[in-house]
């Protein structure tokens, strides 16, 4: 059985033409799939025998929402989806005045091991298929009734650790016969896997690259992000400079402010020095308190921001949404896994 929604438009056309179908058939099927059809039986402009033939060869992914939490503070919605194999992933929908942004997961769990992050506590289970990434956008839009205008790949998982599937997802979600979301409305966030950044640069996509930096010096960064032992801060900055030269796109540096760890003025000065030479933007994130983590939110966010600005950098503080619903990624899945574990023990 083949995952039909993970096929590109061209692959679908080839597969259906190999089955003896006329070329308009692929257009019909693609449009049903990308419109959210959950089974071939919904495809009313296709004959019943043909639908049955398709169902013998292909399956259609369609997650079920096992939990949905709506923030009373700002309308942020967090979904916990159950996939075909019983695994769960999270998606967050945030509404801003300029549109609706969906934050999607790229893997079930994560193996990067960042010490402050809930998504990585239990490691990686598996990669998500392109269809499973697309489904998060598609079914969030359908369930919420809010049209998605922007996508951030900042949920559970490391996109560069599943880059083939991520690139295919980008092609699918960008397709004019599908959801048609422009690359300029998509951000991809990485913890700093240098070969992944280089490969992305080669693609020449118009998306925004976000780099989860969190510290400008290797000593601090290695303490909080094991990936720094493989690709240290200086190699990472070199890759960022290469990325900018190749694509001309401004990079966004994510910086979660941790009390007494990465929030000194000296670190702000060093950060500014390392970004020099490209138009970087620093996004300061108030640390989300994760139960499993020893780290606490910094109280120097505003001072750190001022210090960066004094060097001519643009630095913004990320507004925290969904504070009442555990909306930072990884937390809801952890909760569900723990409860399932406890239910399993009782049974
Ligand atoms: N693996 C990718 C994308 C997922 S994480 C990456 O590392 O960029 C999305 C963002 O949330 C990253 O910047 C990550 O470092 C940050 N993050 C993780 N846990 C956090 C926490 N407890 N508080 C604030 N930001 C956190």
At 14-30, the pLDDT tens digits run 999 999 999 999 999 99
- Over residues 275-295, the mean pLDDT reads 88
Pocket lining: 254 vs ligand 1, CB cutoff 6 Å? yes
Contact 252, 208 (CB under 8 A): yes
Pocket test for ligand 1, best of 90, 117, 155 (most atoms within 8 A of CB): 117
**Residue 347, pLDDT above cutoff 50:** no
**CATH code: domain of residue 46:** 1.10.150.530
Region of residue 41 (phi > 0: left; psi between -120 and 50: alpha; otherwise: beta): alpha
Answer positive or negative: Cα dihedral of 252, 276, 245, 164.
Answer: negative
pLDDT band at 320 (very low <50, low <70, confident <90, very high): confident
- What digits encode the pLDDT tens for the residues 185-221? 999 999 999 999 999 999 999 999 999 999 999 999 9
Which tokens in the block code for residue 203? Answer: 């693609």
Mean pLDDT of the chain: 94
Indicate whether 81 pLDDT > 50. Answer: yes
Structure confidence at residue 328 (pLDDT): 63
Do residues 153 and 227 share a domain?
yes
Q: Last residue of a domain, which of 38, 59, 80?
A: 59
What is the percentage of the chain residues whose pLDDT exceeds 90? Answer: 86
The enclosing domain of 327 has a CATH number of 3.20.20.70
Query: Which residues form the domain of 110?
Result: 64-345
Q: Is 55 found in the same domain as 68? A: no
Give how many domains the chain has, as a whole number: 2
Residue 46 has pLDDT above 90, yes or no: yes
Among protein residues, the one whose CA lies closest to atom 18 of ligand 1: 117
Residue-level pLDDT at 325: 76
What atom in ligand 1 is closest to the CA of residue 190? 8
- Of the residues 110, 191, 240, 329, which is catalytic? 329
Residues 99 and 17 in one domain: no
DSSP string, 173-241: HH-TTTT---GGGEEEEES--HHHHHHHHHHT--PEEEEE---SSHHHHHHH-THHHHS-HHHHHHHHH
Quick one: 216 and 335 in the same domain?
A: yes
**Predicted pLDDT of residue 296:** 92
Q: Is the pLDDT of residue 35 over 50?
A: yes
Rounded Cα–Cα distance for residues 312 and 319 (Å): 22
Question: 183 and 77 share a domain?
Answer: yes
Pair (177, 48) in one structural domain? no
Measure CA 144 to chain center: 19
Q: Are residues 13 and 146 in the same domain?
A: no
Question: Is-catalytic flag, 10?
Answer: no
Residue ending a domain, among 37, 59, 81, is: 59
Claim to verify: residue 45 and residue 107 sit in the same structural domain: no
In this structure, the answer to whether residues 17 and 75 fall within a common structural domain is no
**Rounded to the nearest whole angstrom, what is the distance from the C-alpha of residue 120 to the centroid of ligand 1?**
10
Give phi and psi for 314, each to the nearest 5: -90, 130
Collapsed DSSP state (helix, strand, coil) of residue 80 = strand
219 is catalytic: no
Q: Are residues 220 and 273 in the same domain?
A: yes
Tell me, yes or no, if the pTM score tops 0.85: yes
- Residues 226 and 253 grouped into a single domain: yes
The model's pLDDT over 230-255, given as tens digits with 9 standing for 90+, comes to 999 999 999 999 999 999 999 999 99
Distance 170 CA to ligand 1 centre (A): 21
Instruction: Choose one of 59, 74, 104: the last residue of a domain.
Output: 59
Distance 332 CA to ligand 1 centre (A): 15
Say yes or no: 16 and 149 in one domain: no
């Amino acid at each position: 059985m083949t995952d039909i929604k993970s096929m590109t438009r061209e692959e679908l056309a080839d597969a259906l033409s190999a089955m003896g179908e006329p070329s308009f058939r692929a257009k019909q099927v693609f449009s049903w799939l990308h419109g959210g059809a959950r089974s071939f039986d919904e495809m009313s402009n296709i004959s019943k025998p043909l639908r049955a033939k398709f169902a013998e060869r292909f399956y259609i992914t369609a997650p079920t929402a096992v939990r949905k939490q709506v923030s009373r503070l700002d309308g942020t919605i967090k979904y916990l989806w159950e996939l075909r194999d019983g695994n769960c992933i999270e998606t967050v929908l945030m509404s801003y005045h300029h549109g609706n942004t969906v934050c999607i997961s790229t893997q079930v769990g994560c193996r990067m091991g960042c010490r402050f992050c809930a998504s990585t506590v239990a490691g990686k289970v598996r990669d998500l298929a392109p269809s499973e990434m697309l489904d998060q956008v598609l079914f969030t839009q359908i369930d919420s009734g809010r049209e998605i205008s922007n996508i951030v790949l900042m949920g559970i998982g490391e996109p560069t650790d599943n880059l083939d599937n991520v690139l295919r997802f980008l092609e699918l979600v960008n397709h004019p016969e599908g959801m048609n979301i422009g690359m300029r409305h998509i951000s991809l966030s990485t913890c700093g896997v240098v070969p992944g950044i280089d490969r992305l640069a080669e693609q020449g996509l118009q998306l925004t690259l976000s780099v989860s930096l969190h510290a400008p010096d290797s000593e601090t960064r290695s303490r909080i992000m094991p990936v720094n032992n493989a690709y240290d801060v200086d190699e990472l900055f070199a890759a960022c400079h290469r990325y900018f030269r190749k694509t001309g796109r401004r990079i966004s540096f994510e910086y979660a402010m941790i009390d007494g760890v990465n929030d000194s003025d000296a670190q702000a000065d060093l950060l500014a020095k390392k970004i020099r030479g490209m138009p970087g933007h620093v996004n300061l994130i108030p640390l989300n308190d994760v139960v499993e983590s020893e780290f606490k939110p910094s109280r120097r966010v505003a001072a750190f921001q001022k210090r960066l600005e004094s060097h001519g950098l643009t630095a913004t503080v990320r507004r925290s949404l969904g504070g009442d619903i555990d909306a930072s990624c990884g937390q809801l899945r952890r909760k569900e896994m723990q409860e399932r574990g406890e239910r399993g023990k009782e049974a």
